[in-house]
Amino acid sequence: MRSSKKQENDIQLETLYRLNIKTLWQGFKQEHITFIFLCAYYLFEYIRPQVLYPQIDFLPWAQLFLILTLVSLFSDKSIKSVANPLNKLFVLFIIIIILSSLAAYDPWVSWKYKNIMLSWIIVYYLTINIINTEKRFFLFLLVYLLFNLKMGQHGAIDWIGRGLSFADYGLIGSPGWFRNSGEYAIQMMIFGSLAIAFVLSLKEYWGKYKKLLMYGAAATGYLAVVGASSRGSQLGLLVIFIVFSLRSKAGIKGLLGVTALGLLLYNILPDEQMARFQEMGDDRTSLQRLAYWKIGLGLIADNPILGIGYKNWMVVVSDMFPEGIPPLNVVQVPHSIYIEAAAELGIFALLVFLIMVIYAFVLNAKTRKILNGKTDKLLLNVTYALDAGLIGYLVAGAFVTVLTYPFFWVQIAMIVTVNNIVKNKYPAETVRRLRRQQLKKRGPITPTDK
């Protein structure tokens, strides 16, 4: 296989930006097989075609491609270890999970779910190390968006097909992580944000009809969130609009654009969904969540260090309330990533998670600082899109139990990946920034420093 640097020179990024299928295919063919295996893993993990088409469900495809990626990793000479503080925080979080599992109410239950977080830390490290060039990131982002577009267009068409009307079941995505309406809506927020960044960055490379097609494709993400009937995700979308309206550098024009988009989505929201917002806090679903949160706070107070044990919520709460919890008289998951983290893993685990969240935003800001004054539209806009997706996840996550879902872990992998690519592309900028930081710590600049 040729080196990564040689591959970058074979097909220029600007040529790939035109989204010509033949050129894109050539671009993929030039990449090392490790990168291809990683993309295949994401396909089978996110879309689960083996479930949609049972005739090909004769192998554990996702696990197979993950193993193939690991095995072929050592033959890709372009790969160098990527150092980042998020790596250490992620490892620390995994260590807390292990300790929590050992001290769990029922360690066997924790053991049954060991592969979930183990898989995400492996995927995280593979992603940040393999996607190490701007070309690879572009190709990865493209396939990632295509995988999500499959779910986005299905949901948007389903919602439009029923006349933009309300349905209790909302919308659902691919089998697996996104089968529930709430989880599906979070992923569509992440997809919609990245898709909009992709289109706004590259639209000048496309003709009229391709541009219209891409605008329509990008719109399916946020449309699916509105049609999914998930109040938490719709609140997340609202917060995204508010945050980006306030931080917009486009002035009145940008503010009006974001406001217009928000008003459009608000006006197509079904009346039944608006009624659900008006009932929030008083309806049976809200009361059930409040009951879970109250129980969770009690469990946190009784088990502050390592929690009740990784994935032990259902077994502990079921033993506490064998006849169910009013008003629905059922036992369900805690319906909050924050209660989930602190109750199952302890307060320190929640603190580590929140530090990871904060540093993810900081890292995106550092990436943008390096890109300041540069012409890298896509990389710059992707950092904003990852911020938006993370904001949506944090808001919606307050109402759903998705701590161990791919949302956060894949997003921080992308954030680290983009930062690493930008630092490698502009090493002088990185050195100057570090130099300024060192001088700031030392005090006033001396003639020698100059």
Locate tokens 């999914």: which residue?
228
Confidence of residue 353 (pLDDT cuts 50, 70, 90): very high
- Residue 302 tokens read as 């009784």
pLDDT above 90 coverage of the chain, percent: 60
Higher pLDDT, 124 or 175: 124
Q: Is the pLDDT of residue 308 over 80?
A: yes
Asked if residue 62 is part of any domain, the answer here is no
- Write down the pLDDT at residue 161: 63
pLDDT band at 104 (very low <50, low <70, confident <90, very high): very high
Q: Give residue 450's pLDDT.
A: 43
Give 405's DSSP letter: S
**CA-to-CA dists, residue 127 to 75, 138, 179, 272, 355, angstroms:** 16, 13, 24, 41, 21
- Other CB atoms within 10 A of residue 295 CB: 20
Quick one: pLDDT band at residue 447, thresholds 50, 70, 90? very low
pLDDT category at 310 given cuts 50, 70, 90 is very high
Residue 415 in any domain: the answer is: yes
365-384 pLDDT tens trace: 999 999 998 888 999 999 99
Q: Which pLDDT score, from 0 to 100, does residue 171 have?
A: 64
Which of 336, 325, 254, 322 minimizes the C-alpha distance to 291? 325
Residue 330 φ/ψ, nearest 5 degrees: -135, 165
Q: Which helix (H) or strand (E) holds 384?
A: helix 377-396
pTM: 0.88
pLDDT tens profile 180-190: 888 989 999 99
Spell out the SS3 assignment of 261-278. Answer: HHHHHHHCCCHHHHHHHH
Q: Is the pLDDT of residue 5 over 70?
A: no
Range name among 52-56, 332-336, 348-352 with the lowest pLDDT average = 52-56
Tell whether 402 is covered by a domain: yes
Name the average pLDDT for the chain. 86
3-state secondary structure 198-238: HHHHHHHHCCHHHHHHHHHHHHHHHHHHHHCCCHHHHHHHH
Instruction: Determine if residue 329 is left, alpha or beta; phi over 0 gives left, psi from -120 to 50 gives alpha, anything else beta.
Output: left
Residue 377 resides in a domain: yes
Q: How many domains, the chain? A: 1
Is residue 32 in some structural domain? no
100 found inside a domain? yes
pLDDT tens-digit profile of 392-411?
A: 999 999 999 999 999 999 99
Compute the average pLDDT of residues 72-76: 93
Q: Which residue has the higher pLDDT, 444 or 216?
A: 216
Mapped onto helix, strand or coil, the DSSP state of residue 325 is strand
Q: Does residue 27 sit within a domain?
A: no
* Torsion angle defined by CA atoms of residues 5, 16, 130 and 133, in that order, rounded to the nearest 10 degrees: 50
Contact 78, 133 (CB under 8 A): yes
Domain that residue 348 falls in:
78-283+327-441
Assess if residue 68 is contained within a domain: no
Comparing 57 with 16, the larger pLDDT belongs to: 16
C-alpha torsion sign, points 219, 48, 179, 296: negative
